[in-house]
Amino acid sequence: MNVDIRTGQIKVLEGFFNDLSTFNQRKIFFESFRKASVPLVAAAKAGAPMGKTGNLRRSIGTMQEPTRRIAILVGALRQRKGWHGHLIESGTKERVRRSGGSTGSVRGTQFFERAFNQTERQVNDALENEWYQAIDRTIIRTNKKLK
C-alpha cells in the first residue's frame, strides 16, 4: 500500500482551525471526539454485564465535560440510569447494616478497562482523522453560508 501525505494541506487546515472562534473550535473537537470514541463505546457495551434491567449497558455513551475543558466523558451516564457503573467496574467491599446483617459485596468486572485497552490504539488513530474531517466539514459549511 502506498500512502501519500502532503503536509501543506494539513498546515492549511490547522491554520483555519486556529482562526476559528473558541466556540467553533470546541464544536469541532467535540464532534471528532464523539465519532472517534464509537469503537470504545461499542466495546464497553458488549463487555458490560446485562443484569436484570440492562440499564447499565444502555447507559454507556458519551457526553461533553460539563466544565470549560475540552473533553468528552465516555462511560455509564447517570442520566440514563447508569449510576451504578462504577460499582460494577471496581467492585465493592463487604457492607454491614446497623442491625448487623450483611448486604453483601459486588465483585468488580473491569469491563470498561478491558474495552479501553482493546480499542485505545483504534480510537487514537481515528481521532486525528475525524478531527481533520470535522474541520473540512466546517470549511464546507462556512463556504455555503458565504455564498
What confidence tens digit (pLDDT) does each residue in 8-27 have? 556 777 777 788 888 888 88
| Total count of domains within the chain | 1
pLDDT at 133: 87
Q: What is the mean pLDDT of residues 82-110?
A: 79
- Is residue 54 included in any domain, yes or no? yes
More confidently predicted of 132 and 3 = 132
- Identify the residue whose cell numbers are 483555519: 16
Q: Are 16 and 135 in contact, with CB atoms under 8 Å apart?
A: yes
- Tally the residues of the chain: 147
Compute the mean pLDDT over every residue in the chain, rounded to the nearest whole number: 80
Is 131 domain-assigned?
yes
Q: Is residue 91 part of a domain?
A: yes
Contacts of 17 (CB under 8 A, 6+ apart): 25, 28, 135
Query: Structural domain of residue 46, as residue ranges?
Result: 10-141
Q: Is residue 2 part of a domain?
A: no
In-domain check, residue 146: no
Report the distance separating Cα 36 and Cα 114, nearest Å. 18
In the structure, what pLDDT confidence band is assigned to residue 80 with cuts at 50, 70 and 90? low
The predicted model scores a pTM of 0.74
Q: What is the pLDDT of residue 11?
A: 75
Rounded CA separation 142/127 (Å): 22
Give the pLDDT score at 7.
46
